[in-house]
Amino acid sequence: MQRRFAVIGAGSWGTALALVLARNGHAVRLWGHDARHMAGLIQARENCRHLAGFRFPETLTPTADLDAAMDDVRDVVVVVPSHAFAAQLQALGRYLPRDGRILWGTKGLDADSGGLLHGLVERHLPDHPMAVLSGPSFAREVAEELPTAVTIASRDAAFAADMAAAFHGAGLRPYTSNDLVGVELGGAVKNVLAVATGIADGLGLGANTRAGLITRGLAELTRLGIALGAERQTFMGLSGVGDLILTCTDDQSRNRRFGLALGRGTTIEQALTDIGQTVEGLRTAREVHALAERLQVEMPICEQVYQVVAGHRTASKALQILMARTRKSEF
Ligand SMILES: NC(=O)C1=CN([C@@H]2O[C@H](COP(=O)(O)OP(=O)(O)OC[C@H]3O[C@@H](n4cnc5c(N)ncnc54)[C@H](O)[C@@H]3O)[C@@H](O)[C@H]2O)C=CC1
Ligand SMILES: O=C(CO)COP(=O)(O)O
């Protein structure tokens, strides 16, 4: 069934998700806060040009006007960076109808409380069905319709199934889950671990180091998840080990490239400027550090990433500390 969607956030991921929905025949309004960027998209559509190299579907309407984007819309897809998530939900509050439903593609934690993003949805848009879409999915590959599998998690199984049907197409296969916490957490923490593996590769360490960091990173992600009430098996799925492998091993990842730059001795500011896009892992490293401390969960790799990005430690010193930790049983 064709429906109307508002996609809020016209960066690479919001644009890719809007393309998926529009190609599936849904009427999609893509809203972005950057008026100049949106004017370019509107003009491209009017002139029947392409959107970031992709044919502009008839069903996709870009706009910088939130009133127009939200007019008569029930299903909202929020894809702004995590630092803007709370403010964006507040702005949406006055538009969302009583039966409105929210899905987000943002991967990160709440910048203020360090909590998961569903807590913000519960606070700002209470009593609306909500879901997160996460998993190994570089925006460009999704826009190119290269086969991609993701997870849509919601405590409302009917909503997850409905959203999975809306996004399902030639290039995107969504699975469903009821483990909202586990799926959200995997998407947030993998960014910190991608910075870690990037740092190691930037230092010129080998394939053994990378595989060790990914595996032990998965162990600490799982520990934190269980402390937060997630299900262990979620971390063996697409939003856990799947996204971890993708982001830690492929240079399309901005978080991995950020780590690579730090490992090679580039400053944080220069690395961010060179990447020129959202690097969630920087902020999330601080939030995971605080969360792990609060819950008394041992997360040595994330902790060392935090120490490096906070400027307390060099990358090579952080690696030395990890290797010298007290020996312990693997499981
Ligand atoms: N690019 C990707 O492959 C994927 C990204 N994500 C997640 O999606 C989220 C968005 O990332 P991208 O689209 O890739 O980032 P991006 O860097 O491509 O775009 C970010 C967009 O957010 C907008 N923005 C910045 N500050 C804002 C604010 N205060 N209010 C509203 N909009 C604001 C910018 O104008 C820009 O359009 C992140 O949490 C990221 O981790 C998730 C899966 C894949
Ligand atoms: O989340 C992503 C792929 O699943 C994108 O990762 P980066 O933000 O590191 O580019």
Over pLDDT 90: what percentage of the chain?
94
Q: Is 329 annotated as a binding residue?
A: no
- Decide: 196 and 305 in contact? Cβ < 8 Å: yes
Residue 59 · residue 36 · CB < 8 Å: no
Measured CA to CA in angstroms, residue 301 lies from 162, 200, 286, 288, 322 at distances of 37, 11, 13, 11, 7
pLDDT value of residue 298: 97
115 is in an annotated binding site: no
pLDDT over threshold 90, residue 286: yes
Nearest to 298 by CA among 211, 235, 244, 227: 227
pLDDT of residue 48: 74
> Is the predicted pLDDT of residue 326 greater than 90, yes or no?
yes
Give distance in angstroms: CA of 244 to centre of ligand 2.
9
pLDDT for 52 equals 73
The CB of 255 under 6 Å from ligand 2? The reply is yes
Classify residue 286 as exposed, middle or buried by CB count within 10 Å of its CB (0-12, 13-18, 19+): middle
| For range 94-111, the mean pLDDT | 97
Best probe residue, ligand 1, of 148, 278, 284 (max atoms within 8 Å of C-beta): 278
Overall average pLDDT of the 46-59 stretch:
81
SS (H, E, C) 172-198: EEEEEECCHHHHHHHHHHHHHHHHHHH
- pLDDT at position 37: 94
Q: What is the ipTM of this complex?
A: 0.99
Mean pLDDT (the chain) is 96
How far is residue 217's CA from residue 82's CA, in Å, rounded to a whole number?
22
Residue 137 marked ligand-binding: yes
pLDDT at 95 over 80: yes
The pTM assigned to this predicted structure is 0.98
Q: How many angstroms does the Cα of residue 328 sit away from the middle of ligand 2?
A: 32
pLDDT of residue 126: 96
Q: What percent of the chain has pLDDT over 70?
A: 100
263 pLDDT above the threshold of 90 = yes
pLDDT of residue 76 exceeding 90 = yes
Q: What is the 3-state secondary structure (H, E, C) of 138-164?
A: CHHHHHCCCCEEEEEECCCHHHHHHHH
Please give the order of strands across the beta sheet that includes 130-134. 60-63, 27-31, 4-8, 75-78, 101-104, 130-134, 148-153, 172-177
Banded model confidence at residue 59, pLDDT cuts 50, 70, 90 = very high
- Tell me what the mean pLDDT of segment 20-44 comes to: 95
Closest CA to 252 of 165, 155, 138, 93: 138
Q: Extract the tokens encoding 238.
A: 């697409």
Q: pLDDT at position 260, please? A: 98
What's the CA gap between 200 and 206, in Å, rounded?
A: 8
**pLDDT computed for residue 178 by the predictor:** 98
pLDDT at 323: 94
Q: Note the pLDDT tens digit of each residue in 233-242.
A: 999 999 999 9
Q: How confident is the model at residue 51 (pLDDT cuts 50, 70, 90)?
A: confident
Q: Please tell me if the CB atom of residue 106 comes closer than 6 angstroms to any atom of ligand 1.
A: yes
pLDDT of residue 137: 98
pLDDT on residue 111:
87
The model's confidence at residue 139, banded by pLDDT at 50, 70 and 90, is: very high
The predicted pLDDT at position 151 comes to: 99
* Alpha-carbon gap, residue 228 to 182, rounded angstroms: 8
Helix (H, G, I), strand (E, B) or coil at 325: coil
- The mean pLDDT value for 292-319 works out to 97
Specify whether the CB–CB gap between 190 and 299 falls below 8 A.
no
- The reply to whether ligand 2 has any atom less than 6 angstroms from the CB of 247 is yes
